[in-house]
Copies of this chain bind each other. A is one copy, B any other.
Amino acid sequence: MADKLKVSIVGASGYSGGELLRLLLAHPRVEVCEVTSERFAGKFASKAHPNLRKRTQLRFCRMDELKPCDLLFLCLPHGRAMEHIDAFRALAPRLIDLSADFRLNDPGEYQRWYGKPHARPDLMTEFVYGVPELHREEIRGASLVTGAGCNATATILALYPFFKKGLADPERTVVEVKVGSSEGGNAASDASHHPERSGVVRSFMPTMHRHCAEIYQELGFGQTIRVYFSATSIEMVRGVLATCHLFLREPLEEKDVWKIYREVYGKEPFLRIVKEADGIYRYPEPKLLSGTNYCDVGFQKEKGSDRLVVMSALDNLMKGASGQAVQAFNLMNGFEEALGLEFPGLHP
């Protein structure tokens, strides 16, 4: 099958690596050549990802065994991609990095939010921020693309139309994300120990979440903005719900809000406006999105005030990581944007 792209995944034993592998194995235009894991080297991929039993005979190799390929996905822990970036570029002409290393353009912002200097400030502006709804054309032509934070993606997609159009008070937005346990990765800890983690409503980051940096970068449009962000862990494995309280600069009714979202997102393959007058799924619900690449957005305008509450939901491992990476990958290669991302999700 000569028309298949040869791709490899670096750091494939983690959750985003495994999700990427699941997607790419089923992608009609991809041949997955190698998957790396230092911990699992020599073992079958299905040892780390038991859902892939009988789906692949791939075994993990070590990073230093990687062979050249057409495109390399990087799923390493934060801080590692920027250390090894030259080696990766030598292996493949195109890279998609799912870590946080190249999401920010500004070394000062990186230092501020990550608490240390960036290892390769020269490359920071080379990477395109891989949210297609904001940067589709840039992604098409890019050879270096970075994924986006899961909470950042949910927040940015909820707020983007209003910040772009200047319809929101730029300094009053409050955002609270409810997140699942898979956001923390696959390393066990006291905090993730089931008897402790089960059933929590844990205010793990009331302020200062690093994804704020991405939100500021993408929603600023040249002016000073403020997003008061908090993150709470709840009983959930996959999923994010961002509840965004934005304050309108001018009186809009719900039909106006509908119009704005339809105008901006009407043709997006993975954005759905979810707002129903009755029923039990009136607003975006992350549990319906497990395994899908959708970001569902819904809203309610408060009567008698200028508050617009926007809810956005996604699967942090899909639209918040690997699914969005495949979406960007499709764009980079001129494939149909939804290729390999067709799973609609389950109910109930």
Q: Which residues of A contact B (CB under 8 A)?
A: 15, 18-19, 22, 25-26, 47, 49-55, 172, 174, 176, 178, 180-182, 184, 186-203, 206-208, 226, 228, 230, 232, 234-239, 241, 243, 245, 272, 274, 279-288, 290-292, 294, 298-303, 305, 307, 309, 311, 313, 342-348
Q: Which residues of B contact A290 (CB under 8 A)?
A: 346
Q: Which residues of B contact A22 (CB under 8 A)?
A: 344, 346
B51, A346: Cβ atoms closer than 8 Å: yes
Q: In the assembly, what is the distance between CA of A181 and CA of B116, in Å?
A: 39
| Shortest distance from the beta carbon of A224 to any chain B beta carbon, whole Å | 12
Known: A191-B280, A272-B54, A347-B49. A298 touches B203 (CB 8 A): yes
Closest to A345 in B: B51
Q: 5 smallest A-B Cβ distances: which pairs?
A: A195-B348, A194-B197, A207-B302, A206-B300, A188-B193
B207, A307: Cβ atoms closer than 8 Å: yes
Closest to A187 in B: B193
Known: A53-B274, A181-B198, A188-B192. A305 touches B347 (CB 8 A): no
Q: Which residues of B contact A184 (CB under 8 A)?
A: 195
Q: Which residues of B contact A292 (CB under 8 A)?
A: 51
A207, B300: Cβ atoms closer than 8 Å: yes
Q: Which residues of B contact A345 (CB under 8 A)?
A: 51
Q: Which residues of B contact A285 (CB under 8 A)?
A: 50, 200-202
Q: Which residues of B contact A197 (CB under 8 A)?
A: 194
Known: A198-B194, A239-B201, A285-B200. A53 touches B272 (CB 8 A): yes
A235, B234: Cβ atoms closer than 8 Å: yes
Q: Which residues of B contact A236 (CB under 8 A)?
A: 199, 201, 234-235
| Shortest distance from the beta carbon of A254 to any chain B beta carbon, whole Å | 11
| Shortest distance from the beta carbon of A201 to any chain B beta carbon, whole Å | 4
Q: In the assembly, what is the distance between CA of A291 and CA of B245, in Å?
A: 33
| Shortest distance from the beta carbon of A208 to any chain B beta carbon, whole Å | 7
